[in-house]
Amino acid sequence: MRPPRPISRLLVANRGEIALRIVRTCERLGIEAVVAASEADLDSPAARRAGRVVRLGPAAAAESYLSVDAVVRAGLAARADAVHPGYGFLSENPALALACRAAGLTFVGPDPDHLARFGDKLEARQVAAAAGLPVLPGGEVTSAGEAEAMLEATGLPVLVKAVGGGGGRGMRLVTSAGELRHALELSVAEAGGAFGNPRVYLETYVSSGRHVEVQLLCDGERFLHVGERDCSVQRRYQKLVEEAPAPGLPEGLRDELLAAAVRLGRHLGYRSLGTVELLVDLDRERFYFLEVNARLQVEHPVTEAVTGLDLVAEQLYVAEGRPISHSQGDLVARGHAVECRINAEDPDDDFRPGPGTVERFAVPVGDGLRVDAAIEAGSPIPPYYDSLVAKCIACGPDRTAALDRLGGALDRFEVDGVPTTLGLHRRIVADPAFREGGVDTGWLGRFLAATPAGTPEGAGAHRAVAAGG
């Protein structure tokens, strides 16, 4: 265990709802928060709540939130003890962790070596296999000829995936041999442009798979899981709805995947929060390793709702060098929680982002409800960043109660001025197949195809979105 290094002033190197959420935990812990903001965010709710803001750079993310030098300079200018990168941006970049260490700043996250290993999806597969986790057939390909040869071994369908990717970018589904070369070209180009790394690999695609992830909390000596989440409702491989615990998992299979995630953390001597993402094939009652997100997850509130933990606080404690104070037996999920990511996007126009100005913003309140947002009437939705507007989380004693509460909350949620996914979320939460539980990662595509734009149901949902509910 490292010697304790208390954090009294924290630089929050992120924006939007996650920056505000970190600031609130700092207030509770008596830590002074300083928000590092781009020119577009200098008057954001997070900056105003913290009371101290350091200019990070221009609005463009590449010159602000994605600049290692800018973040380290901001941390030093603020005389901070530590830097919290939130999620996205530089949160999994080993260069930032190393630069913070060199500057005498504590990086709130895993060790640089672990970030580097999990940031390379192929190396992450190798680490997982060494820890005894099953991986899907596949491997790196450097030419169309290699890809065609591998396809003969793996069979169809397959995914072409970026080695350094994330967020669904650089990923293409191949369902016929004739699609392979074009999909490969597109993935290589997108991966090179998005991540500066054009390497790609093939991986067998499980069409009826569920996306289940395990939350880890580790301090290098104790390796605990904080239950699992289901994140199978996705569009373009990006999550829209998450819940904890995962519904309908056989208990034996649940125990196996929780144990496997802990085994991976112990294998590396991992420190901090981390999420082991798995693909569950319920038809065969098997699971496969997908990747590790070595950071705080967007969907962490559902885990907090069913466990009572503050995961940001736990992350800060580990960064300070404190031992985890919980035992595995303490971390028991009670009830059920579901989260909807409300994005400024138009579901009837292929989820096209809709930047603009929010004219009205009204959130539901009530028992068992939580809304994480950093938006208010008059807030801009800039074109430079992710389109997330808010997260609406509902919990209850069981899944049905949580969904009923969430449905009522979504009916009262209002956002005017920009298109949002609110109408789609209302339809999802009311859908019988979703309410039954256990939908797979292809379900949303089938659901949208059944009610396309222009049909009465689809058009009505679009009007509700445009009108803000």
DSSP 246: P
Q: Tell me, what's the pLDDT at 465?
A: 31
The tokens describing 375, both together, are: 């938006």
Count H helices, E strands: the chain? Answer: 16, 23
The answer to whether 420 touches 343, Cβ cutoff 8 Å, is yes
User: Which pairs count as long-range contacts for 146-150, CB under 8 Å and 24+ apart, including other chains?
Assistant: 147/180, 147/181, 147/184, 147/202, 148/177, 148/180, 150/202
Q: Which of 25, 184, 9 is nearest to 82 (CA)?
A: 9
Q: Which CATH fold would you assign to the domain 137-204?
A: Dna Ligase; domain 1 (3.30.1490)
In the chain, domain spans: 9-108, 137-204, 210-466
- CB within 8 Å of 263: residues ≥ 6 apart: 131, 132, 133
Q: Tell me, what's the pLDDT at 194?
A: 82
3-class DSSP state for residue 179? helix
Amino acid in the structure at residue 239: K
Q: Tell me, what's the pLDDT at 33?
A: 98
3-class DSSP state for residue 374? coil
- Asked if the 210-466 domain carries CATH number 3.40.640.10, the reply is no
Name the β-bridge partners of 200: 141, 162
Beta strands at 380-381 and 356-357: parallel, antiparallel or unpaired: antiparallel
Residue for token pair 């998450």? 242
- CB within 8 Å of 449: residues ≥ 6 apart: none
Could you list the pLDDT tens digit for every one of the 469 residues in the chain? Answer: 667 899 999 999 999 999 999 999 999 999 999 999 999 999 999 999 999 999 999 999 999 999 999 999 999 999 999 999 999 999 999 999 999 999 999 999 999 999 999 999 999 999 999 999 999 999 999 999 999 999 999 999 999 999 987 778 899 999 999 999 999 999 999 999 888 899 999 999 998 899 999 999 999 999 999 999 999 999 988 999 999 999 999 999 999 999 999 999 999 999 999 999 999 998 889 999 999 999 999 999 999 999 999 999 999 999 999 999 999 999 999 999 999 999 999 999 999 999 999 999 999 999 999 999 999 999 999 999 999 999 999 999 999 999 999 999 999 999 999 999 999 999 999 999 999 999 999 999 999 999 765 454 544 333 333 222 2
Phi, psi at 404, each rounded to 5°: -60, -45
Q: Tell me, what's the pLDDT at 468?
A: 29
3-class DSSP state for residue 126? helix
Q: Tell me, what's the pLDDT at 193?
A: 86
Phi, psi at 306, each rounded to 5°: -95, -10
| Residue burial 78-106, b: 16+ Cβ < 10 Å; e: rest | bebbbbbbbbbbbbbbbebbbbbeeeebb
Q: Tell me, what's the pLDDT at 273?
A: 98
Q: How far apart are CA 226 and CA 373, in angstroms?
A: 24
Q: Which uninterrupted H or E stretch holds 38?
A: strand 32-38
The answer to whether 413 touches 342, Cβ cutoff 8 Å, is yes
Model pTM score: 0.93
Q: Tell me, what's the pLDDT at 2?
A: 65
Q: How far apart are CA 457 and CA 448, in angstroms?
A: 11
Name the β-bridge partners of 287: 280
The architecture CATH gives domain 9-108: 3-Layer(aba) Sandwich (3.40)
Q: Which uninterrupted H or E stretch holds 43?
A: none
The answer to whether 277 touches 215, Cβ cutoff 8 Å, is no
3-class DSSP string for 258-320:
HHHHHHHHHHHCCEEEEEEEEEEECCCCEEEEEEEECCCCCCHHHHHHHHCCCHHHHHHHHHH
Q: How far apart are CA 351 and CA 362, in angstroms?
A: 22
Active site residues: 295
